[in-house]
Amino acid sequence: MLVISKEEVKSLLPVAEAISCVGKAYSELSSGTAKVPDRLGIETEKGITLVMPGHLSVEDALAVKIVSVFPENQSKNKPAIYGAVTVLDPSDGRPLALIEGAYLTALRTGASCGFATGLLAREDAKTLTMIGLGAQSRTIVPAVCAVRSIEKVYAYDPDGVVAESFETEMGGEVSVELVDQTGTAVSESDIVCTATTSQQPVFDGAKLKAGTHVNGIGSFRPDMQEVDLEVIKRASKVVVDTISGAMSEAGDLIQAIDAGVFSEDEIHAEIGSIVSGEKVGRENDGEITFFKSVGNAALDIAVANEVLKRALDRSVGTEVDLG
Ligand SMILES: NC(=O)c1ccc[n+]([C@@H]2O[C@H](COP(=O)([O-])OP(=O)(O)OC[C@H]3O[C@@H](n4cnc5c(N)ncnc54)[C@H](O)[C@@H]3O)[C@@H](O)[C@H]2O)c1
Residue 155 and residue 179 in contact, taking contact as beta carbons nearer than 8 Å:
yes
CA torsion angle for 303, 304, 308, 310 (degrees, to 10)? Answer: 20
Q: Average of pLDDT values for 163-188?
A: 96
pLDDT at 74 over 90: no
Q: Where are the domains of the chain?
A: 2-105+298-316, 120-295
**Of all protein residues, whose CA lies closest to atom 34 belonging to ligand 1?**
132
CA distance 194 to 215: 6
Index of the ligand 1 atom closest to the CA of residue 197: 41
The mean of the pLDDT values for the chain is 96
2-105+298-316 matches 120-295 in fold: no
pLDDT at 128 over 90: yes
Best residue among 15, 136, 182 to mutate for probing ligand 1, ranked by most atoms within 8 Å of CB: 136
**Of all protein residues, whose CA lies closest to atom 19 belonging to ligand 1?**
134
Index of the ligand 1 atom closest to the CA of residue 217: 1
State percent of the chain over pLDDT 70: 100
Pocket of ligand 1 (CB under 6 A): 105, 109, 131-137, 156-159, 162, 195-198, 202, 217-218, 220, 293-295
| Chain segment 258-284, per-residue pLDDT in tens | 999 999 999 999 999 999 899 999 999
Helix (H) or strand (E) holding 237: strand 237-240
Question: Which amino acid, one-letter code, is at 198?
Answer: S
Q: What is the pLDDT of residue 288?
A: 98
120-295 adopts what CATH topology? Answer: Rossmann fold (3.40.50)
CATH architecture type of domain 2-105+298-316: 2-Layer Sandwich (3.30)
Q: What is the pLDDT of residue 223?
A: 93
Q: What is the pLDDT of residue 27?
A: 95
Distance between Cα 32 and ligand 1 center (Å): 30
Distance between Cα 226 and ligand 1 center (Å): 10
State percent of the chain over pLDDT 90: 95
Residue 197 and residue 218 in contact, taking contact as beta carbons nearer than 8 Å:
yes
Index of the ligand 1 atom closest to the CA of residue 80: 19
Residue 64 and residue 86 in contact, taking contact as beta carbons nearer than 8 Å:
yes
The active-site residue, picked from 65, 207, 237, 292, is 65
Index of the ligand 1 atom closest to the CA of residue 132: 34
pLDDT at 71 over 90: no
- List Cα–Cα distances, 315 to 12, 86, 110, 318, 321, in angstroms: 11, 18, 26, 9, 16
Note if 10 is an active site residue: no
